[in-house]
Amino acid sequence: MGYVKYDLKGIEYSRKTLVKLDFPSLFTKEKMPFISSFSTRIKEIKETLRRFKENYDNMFVIGIGGSSLGIQAIYEGIYGKYKISGRRLFFLENIDPFNIHQIFQTAPWDRTVYCVISKSGSTLETVSIFNLVLYELKRRGFRDLHKRFIFISGKNTPFYSVAKELGAPFFEIPEEIGGRFSVLSPVGLVPSEFVNIDPYALVGGGMEILEEISEDREHESVISTCAEYESYIEGRSINVMMPYSDSLRKFSEWWVQLWAESLGKDGKGQTPAPAVGTVDQHSLLQLFMDGPDDKVFQFIKVANFGSDFILPKKTEILDFIASKRISDIIHAEFEGTVEALRLKGRPVTVIELGRITPEVMGALFTLYMIKTVIMAELIGVNPYGQSGVEIGKKIAKRKLGDSV
């Protein structure tokens, strides 16, 4: 345990908020159905993926939103933005024609497996790209389609039927788990196994942080969420997440969907805003410091990046950085930003990770899913479902000729 450390200096909350939470009933499969993903049949995933790992170098993940952001966060969290060697993941997510054209022109079709992910099996973007890929494979003369696809969807969905027709592997997303809460189900675990990120470690980290929080009503994650709620009530309608690590940029994007779609209902909700240090010190920090006091801040620090560089003993410019490690510089920038915001009276929570590992990623995902459910409980909304999104989807389908 101890994957995540908190610094809540200056954070204030009322115990009245804390006692509003019915802790025993919160940590149930009714309130937190994503808990059931911890029972995923990982052995089956590993056995199925074995032949794909032997035969293919690349996996193209075809999915969008909750079916894509989580595995992107895992992949970049562990391997960074640029995986140097070994099997790789690529993401066919947005239906931008230019981007799809570029991928199709450069894709090593004979060395690629396609992992198609959609909870409903009828997501417009995912279905569109899947049809393009299937057509292109047939056009190029591939006949062994059952060896080139993996489907992850709900039971008895259109993708379930396609998988059965092709004879391709199918993994079920449990009915009770919504897409944005599905990262520790086959949605995230199947692609992770393909690139040797151990599913047992991901789920294990999630299980440990779940146990840690559920047994401690005054866990720092609970207190920080209560403080965020009170700030929201006071008018701070924006929640900023700013990791000081490029490897966690996609994690912030995953969290944005989780927080926005889960809480934005009934005229309520807190707008999530992603940023990344140190880059956004040069773009957003001026607003954070001297703009309106309508934000709460979450900073994530990584103690050990796994790699580091030492500057030369004599530098051409800025003598004071001579012989310093690059990690010393990013940590100093991080501490400067946090201290400056606290001096300004802004509410700042700091999370520190020792090093980004599969266990840590599993813990982080679970931590923020729990925080989301707690925040939903406090503001009085159902964190599951997204009726506002469905309206736009129906209009789009009708414009394309769907009569339903």
Beta bridge pairs of residue 300: 243, 351
Q: How many CA atoms lie within 13 A of 180 on its CB side?
A: 23
Note whether 76 and 217 are within 8 A (CB): no
Q: Give the pLDDT of residue 400.
A: 64
Give the C-alpha separation, 308 to 305, whole Å.
7
Q: Where is 352: in which H helix or E strand?
A: strand 348-353
pLDDT of residue 237: 97
- Cα angle 334, 338, 339 (rounded to 5 degrees) comes to 115
- pLDDT at residue 394, rounded to an integer: 66
Compute and round to an integer the Cα radius of gyration of the chain: 22
Per-10-residue mean pLDDT, the chain, length 404: 88 89 90 88 96 96 95 97 91 93 88 96 95 95 95 96 96 92 97 98 96 94 96 97 97 98 96 97 97 98 95 94 96 98 97 97 98 97 77 64 65
pLDDT of residue 24: 86
Place of tokens 């410019």: 317
* CB atoms inside a 10 Å sphere around CB 381: 18
- Kindly provide the b/e burial profile for residues 308-346, where b requires at least 16 CB atoms within 10 angstroms of the residue's own CB: eeeeeeeeeeeeeeeeeeebeebeeebeebbeebbeeeb
Q: Which two tokens stand for residue 237?
A: 């309608």
Question: Which amino acid would we find at residue 325?
Answer: R
Would you call 12 exposed, middle or buried from its count of C-beta atoms within 10 A (0-12, 13-18, 19+)?
Answer: exposed
Domains of the chain in sequence order: 4-28+202-385 (3.40.50.10490), 33-197 (3.40.50.10490)
What positions carry a catalytic annotation? Answer: 261, 282, 393
E strand segments, 93-181: 112-118, 149-153, 170-172
pLDDT at 84: 85
How far does the chain reach from its first CA to its final CA, in angstroms?
Answer: 50
What global pTM score does this model have?
Answer: 0.94
